[in-house]
Structure 1
């Protein structure tokens, strides 16, 4: 009788729930990108490393803008809690007047002594994923969206507790950002993204002049392993050629940073094997057929394409996945405290609500978490040469990593840092939060590597408290606490 009941239950689950990964998302976007560029890694230029080349860096200037700080002030977001005690702004900054290109931003001032806090830019990766939909609404922003897709609740571990946070949707074609010259979407790439982001910053600071001399940091995750160092290099280059500090850049921090294509692919499969997700035989075949320091052969690509890890979330290999039911609702069969694997659906519905778009001062848009209309035309095979130059410039450089992500695993970050050949200043050791190990940290000459224990690709989504402690330590220039 119990066997029959159990069989009936299994049939019911099969009929009424279908396992899905989240909608086209940051991890999917990066995995597709890696696969599409894998065969050309060793035929691509590393010209981004040449900071003196005008071909690489074209500084932007002040452009006539229609917006203003007060016009961009958000009175209230639909469904937000009543006890909101901070200023928030949203709007567009034109980065190319002739082409009609404008980037959308969301800015949250700290609720605590904002005039003394630094300015921090956050960039999500993809390439082509939204910093509003991910960073602001699912990770480190002041609010999270409830499952009713209409109301918000406060994120008590928001990074705006310790900094003034600026979220940029970039490049044009991502989120609410746009160009009136649609051919721009087929000409996206690292160089143009850095140019436009720099032009955005110069003009945004004209709109918010009180932040011109403020300490400035750039943060992000995933493909921001390209975006962040390239933008930092652009800022330093422009400061140099103008012989003055246009933007007061102090440091960068990138989470689960995609910085080197070949070593990332190698590390991805090593991580899967080390975590008992692929077999000895499958990993052995990868090692036989793939040389990740040489051209990727068709045989190697075919072997990699046959790897089947099952229905797991590679953002976090131990996290629950989202199920979609036949009636259109979504849910999960297990839980991680504070994390909802179906959040992409809530964010998409909320940001497509016309009243929400109006409150953000956004143009009516079919908003998506990641853009399906941009084509990437240039990227270096590695950003390590740029990172090395940023270190030499004296910038504070941190790479942090959730340790259960397979898209850009900690293994890949360790390979990348090893390739920089830096001397160790403070050796690998645990750091703590509330008397538990929060992760591990090692300080090199010029770079700090931090892990966040039990966090996936989007570190603040899985470990909001630990990520805030890590971020606050970064801003202060201290290693995370050891007690």
Structure 2
């Protein structure tokens, strides 16, 4: 969940499904470490074109189909995964275009999607096409994308598929998986979806907000007056959500965030231990200018993207278009997935994240109505010990698992690489797949 920045509208030139082989990257972007890549656009509905970027795994396997495919969705809503997730978090290259040591491509095939349309290199080719208004429409566009992508890359139809979403991207990932399962059951699409990864995901907004005041007070971030200010706004947003007045709830949520920042004297709400002050931007926004420059110069040239398509760090218009849907929970869809499928829900949360706090994640997990809920309440968490160090805690029942990650904030892949790699190893590599 991010606060947006002004966005410049796009003009467009590409139509339909197209892709280019990246064995011919320009100098500085050649497949480092033997990384093979492809990218392109898929028309998901009239005049709406979604950009994708696929990296084939560099794992020591005889064929890429021996490893799962991970789809990565960024949050915001309005942030493109082609830039942030790719170059700042988990892709094969960092912002300096040098090889990242801890890239997910070393073990998995990785597909970044600029979602929703209008974000990153995704674009509209006509003013009659509108931005998505809710999570259901987001899911519909993503399923449309997958139908085209999988029909062109049939080898990915059978290998294990995992949809990972960070922050608001987790909310999108849940709807995407929910609709994808429906289409698989209808026989309109062939995919082997095995799991949904939810990293500090904005699943049930009210549960995070309910913890803001006490979290800040107990850590000594606010005094009694600050606590009361946040608590009063929390009561208001709870009333609005109970009335299903989600537009009002979204307005109040923005006031709450502003109040938290002001009363805590400018903590970074995405990671409370980072150095910050009232005049400083959150860490993730510090990448804005350099990321915009990289994506609109070297990357755009390397991928042969039209100069008329402008990549932006975040599309504020998308955020505004989803105003009435921002505060809606997606827990009912998670309950359906847990109760009606064997798809695994993999939840992980950094303990230093204030905005999407671990306490809130625990609350919505405990409130889920599913077949394993009784056992879930009885189950004790276990330490996530790696190399004699406790990196967090894990709790698992049936097809639901929750990792509490120490020494991490909103972006676990960046803040605690060791824990993130262990989570991926346990959940994606140790399982036995039928290919």
In the other structure, the counterpart of 2:164 is 219
Q: Bigger CA drift: 315-324 or 448-457?
A: 315-324
Equivalenced residues, count: 399
Take 1:302 and 1:92, find their aligned partners in 2: how far apart are those partners? 34
**Aligned alpha-carbon RMSD (Å):** 3.2
**Deviation at 1:290?**
3.9
Q: Residue 452 in 1 paired to residue 427 in 2?
A: no
Q: How does 1:58-457 map to 2 (within 5 A)?
A: 65-68=16-19, 71-76=20-25, 78-80=27-29, 83-96=32-45, 99-112=46-59, 113=61, 114-146=64-96, 152-242=97-187, 246-287=190-231, 290-291=234-235, 293-295=238-240, 304=256, 306-307=259-260, 308=262, 309-321=264-276, 342-353=286-297, 355-364=298-307, 365-374=309-318, 375-376=321-322, 379=325, 381-392=328-339, 393-420=341-368, 422=373, 423-424=375-376, 426-457=379-410
Q: TM-score, normalised by structure 2?
A: 0.83
Quote the offset at 1:288 in angstroms: 5.5
**Equivalent-residue separation in structure 1 for 2:83 and 2:48 (angstroms):** 20
C-alpha distance in structure 1 between counterparts of 2:253 and 2:56, whole Å: 47
Contact 2:162 2:194 (8 Å CA) reproduced: yes
Contact in 2 for aligned 1:140/1:464 (Cα 8 Å): no
Distance 2:387 2:183 in 1: 43
Once the two structures are superposed, what CA deviation does each residue of 1:125-146 show, in whole Å capped at 9, x if it has no partner? Answer: 1111111122111111111113
Q: TM-score, normalised by structure 1?
A: 0.75
The answer to which structure, 1 or 2, has the higher relative contact order (CA under 8 A, 6+ apart) is 1
- Distance of aligned partners of 1:313 and 1:134 in 2 relative to their CA distance in 1, 3 Å threshold: same
The residue that corresponds to 2:11 in the other structure is none
Match of 2:9 in 1: none
CA shift in 2, pair 1:84/1:262, >3 Å: same
Deviation at 1:345, TM superposition (A): 2.9
The Cα offsets for residues 133-174 of structure 1, whole Å up to 9 and x where unpaired, read as 22111111111113xxxxx12111111122100000011110
Describe the shift of the 1:389–1:279 C-alpha distance in structure 2 as closer, same or farther (beyond 3 A): same
Deviations 1:246-272 (A, max 9, x none): 111111111011111222211233322
- Secondary structure in 2 matching 1:184: coil
Unaligned stretches of 5+ residues in structure 2: 7-14, 242-247
- Between the aligned partners of 2:254 and 2:189, the Cα distance in structure 1 is 50
Change (3 A) 1:301 1:264: closer
Contact kept? 2:2, 2:75, Cα under 8 Å:
no
